[in-house]
Amino acid sequence: MQTSFDFVLALPEILLLIMAGTVLLIDAFSKSETRHATFLLSLASLVIVTGISILQWNAGVSGTTFSGLFVVDPLAHFLKVVSYLAVIATLIYGRGYNEARDMTRNGGELYSLTLFALLGQMVMISAGSLLTVYLGLELMSFALYALVAVRRDHLPSSEAAMKYFVLGSMASGVLLYGMSMIYGATGTLDLARIADVIGSGQAERLPLVFGVVFIVTGLGFKLATAPFHMWSPDVYQGAPTSVTLIIAAAPKLAALAITLRLLIDGLHGLAIDWQPMLIVLSVLSLAIGNLTAIMQKNFKRMLAYSTISHMGFVLLGLLSGVFDGASDAAGLAYGSSLFYMVIYVLTTLVTFGLIMLLSHRGFECENISDLAGLNRRNPLMAAVLMLSMFSLAGIPPLAGFYAKLAVLQAVIGAGYLWLAVFAVVMSLIGAFYYLRVVKVAYFDEPAGEVGALDNGMLTNGLMTLNGLLVLLLGILPGGLMTLCVSVIRQSLQF
């Protein structure tokens, strides 16, 4: 086992920890109700760690440190950079929303907790051990629990935080129990050594299988897949929209990272056991997510069920990578899941960003009917909303279409034609509720007189860039897809 301590590999995490503590300390002595200084410092911190990660990636910095607990590879660099950018966009989109609801008047915990949640995600992304997976997961989870309840005078937020905490703690316990069984069977916490022990056939099969069952269950909760999705709609609806976006975007990247680390790097030898479980989870997620979303009138709740269906597509790519030992096809399958998740995060950012920009003091844009007349009030926002809805529905030539196509090609290549047909049928059903949103924004009459919407230059620019990326990555997806497949092949052992 490597026992060296190379702190350079963990430089982004170390700096983010220092900056998060600095933000917390400055906020404790700040008299400003808007917390403008801590907002700018948080953005500056994210820009700095983004630059460091990109420099390390370009320089080929990789390896393991802290006795194998912490892994830095191209996959880690890629997911961290995307996570930084997602959190930067989240903070910019949510700035006006947070001020309008006085969420920073009594303290700027919102920004420090967001940075600590991101730190947990970074640890999860670089996890080389079951111990690191759990530590990163809990650091992220506890920060998110607190963020949901950050609006202390809002009863729905407090209720959502309690539900999230109880169910999240239970899921963490289930995941931990599965890890303990894997440790008991293999005698190690290191993912690489676990894979070696399983490959050698020295470990008893029964505790390994039970451990896999509990681990997949815990991962299902963190990815918000059916039937472990029950927390998602309530938390998405009850939390302040700025916090909903914090939960809906970057943490999904970290959840995918630990899924790849655990199932592909550590438990690939047990694929015959976890592959059928992923098939069941993906089928249930596609069915429950799409069919239930049709009945929703609350926009945020509809997007929560939409997320469940999209996580079903992510699982389709993961389960398609295990067949006949073909590593090239496996790399394409896992790469399609990674590509799908990145596109999902990109589209989620602009969708929830629009909800926050449409909300103002005394008004929450939550129901789909609140979007009526949007095209007359702000044609740019209506156009971006249309692009995001069409992308989520998988309509060409947007990024969501190519993401779905890549996953379906992997599924068919793995021999699961029936599963691909089922996914297409569910996507067609799902297109209904996305198109309904566009119809309301363009053709429905608002309930009363509405004025024009005028957002700041920064948020308008970010929203436009976000929408254009959804379009451009659908027209020219090759570069990002190639990058996703490349980092998978360079980083994972399968």
Q: Is 80 exceeded by the pLDDT of residue 156?
A: yes
Task: Check whether 184 has a pLDDT greater than 90.
Answer: yes
Higher-pLDDT residue of 202, 348: 348
Q: What is the pLDDT of residues 199-209, one digit of tens each?
A: 888 888 899 99
Cα–Cα dist 115/27, whole Å: 14
Neighbours of 272 (CB within 10 A): 9
Residue 326 is predicted with a pLDDT of 58
Return d(Cα 483, Cα 339) in angstroms, integer. 9
The Cα 39–Cα 29 span in angstroms is 15
> Given this model, what pLDDT does residue 36 score?
80
Average pLDDT over residues 97-115: 78
Q: How far apart are CA 487 and CA 57, in angstroms?
A: 11
Mean pLDDT of 386-411: 94
170 compared with 363, residue with greater pLDDT: 170
Q: DSSP letter string over 352-386?
A: HHHHHHH-BTTB---BGGGGTTHHHH-HHHHHHHH
User: Rounded distance, CA 362 to CA 379, Å?
Assistant: 23
Helices (H), 359-456: 374-377, 379-393, 399-413, 417-443
Is residue 22 within 8 Å of residue 64, measured between CB atoms?
Answer: no
> What pLDDT does residue 2 have?
43
For 36-62, what is the mean pLDDT?
Answer: 92
Task: Give me the mean pLDDT over the 365-392 stretch.
Answer: 90
Using the predicted structure, report yes or no on whether residue 1 has a pLDDT greater than 80: no
Tell me the pLDDT of the chain averaged across its residues: 89
Alpha-carbon distance of 309 to 369, in angstroms, equals 23
User: Mean pLDDT lowest for which of 47-51, 52-56, 154-158, 234-238?
Assistant: 154-158
> Is residue 3 very low, low, confident or very high in pLDDT (cuts 50, 70, 90)?
very low
Q: Which residue has the higher pLDDT, 459 or 143?
A: 143
| CA-derived radius of gyration, the chain | 22
Q: What is the mean pLDDT of residues 279-307?
A: 94
The percentage of residues in the chain with a pLDDT greater than 70, rounded to a whole number, is: 94
In angstroms, the Cα distances linking 194 to 159, 378, 494 are 40, 55, 13
pLDDT-wise least confident of 105-109, 182-186, 196-200: 105-109
- For residue 328, pLDDT over 80 is answered with no
Q: Domain boundaries in the chain?
A: 11-491
* pLDDT tens-digit readout, 413-451: 888 999 999 999 999 999 999 999 999 999 988 765 554
Please determine, for residue 396, whether its predicted confidence score (pLDDT) is greater than 60.
yes
- Compute the distance between CA of residue 172 and CA of residue 449 in angstroms, rounded to an integer: 48
Return the pLDDT at 374. 87
Q: Is the pLDDT of residue 161 over 50?
A: yes
* Percent of the chain scoring above 90 in pLDDT: 67
- The number of beta carbons lying within 10 Å of the beta carbon of residue 342 is 24
- Higher-pLDDT residue of 327, 425: 425
The long-range contacts involving 341-344, CB below 8 angstroms and separated by at least 24 positions, are 341/252, 341/253, 341/256, 341/314, 342/82, 342/253, 342/480, 342/484, 343/391, 343/399, 343/400, 343/402, 343/403, 343/470, 343/473, 344/252, 344/307, 344/310, 344/314, 344/403
pLDDT band per the 50, 70, 90 thresholds, residue 361: low
d(CA 418, CA 286): 14
Is residue 441 a contact partner of residue 366, using CB atoms and an 8 Å limit?
no
Distance CA 421, CA 418 (A): 5
Task: Report the distance separating Cα 126 and Cα 76, nearest Å.
Answer: 6
